[in-house]
Amino acid sequence: MSASKQDSQSEQDTQSDHFHVYARGRQLFLVRHSHAWRPSTDVMADEDRLVVLVEAAGMKQGEFHVTFANQRLTISGSRPAREPAHGAYHQLEIRCGDFQTEVILPWPVDEETISAEYEDGFLRVELSRAKPQQIRVVDVHKIDAD
């Protein structure tokens, strides 16, 4: 399936309901999404860390939830609507409400060093690569049984 067909299919999958509304002599087609939207997300790597950058303008520091479990980083939250409801809409592209993005990590990370900061509309999460486990050699002592 081509990328555009996949995008179209995933948009159809998230549409739970659609209906026509007549307001002031005009017909409007409305679509209600039942699932969380997915913000634009970049994942970059170098030798010792991963950087995940999530575009989520209009948020505040405490409005994100960043969790890590089973090699999966999940970032979620809810962006409030910035404008009150209007009688008619001509174009709506800025998504509001619940959002979530997930990243499956390609290697183990050091969970103690995960950091996240939000600045200028971008949430940046840094994950350091876990150090390889070292093999520990244990000396065996013979006990004389005399």
**40 and 87 together in one domain:** yes
In this structure, is residue 61 part of a structural domain? Answer: yes
- H or E element at residue 13: helix 3-14
In this structure, is residue 112 part of a structural domain? Answer: yes
**Number of separate domains in the chain:** 2
**21 and 43 together in one domain:** no
**48 and 104 together in one domain:** yes
Q: Which residue has the tokens 């970049």?
A: 42
**pLDDT tens by residue, 63-79:** 899 999 999 999 999 98
**81 and 120 together in one domain:** yes
Q: Can you give the residue range of the structural domain that contains 82?
A: 36-128
The confidence score (pLDDT) of residue 1 equals 42
Q: From residue 64, how far is each of 82, 125, 134 by CA, in Å? A: 17, 11, 35
**pLDDT tens by residue, 14-30:** 434 455 556 566 655 55
The confidence score (pLDDT) of residue 29 equals 52
The confidence score (pLDDT) of residue 135 equals 77
- The CB-side HSE value for 43 (13 A sphere, CA atoms) comes to 13
CATH assignment at residue 77: 2.60.40.790
- pLDDT < 50 stretches in the chain: 1-17, 33
In this structure, is residue 11 part of a structural domain? Answer: yes
**21 and 60 together in one domain:** no
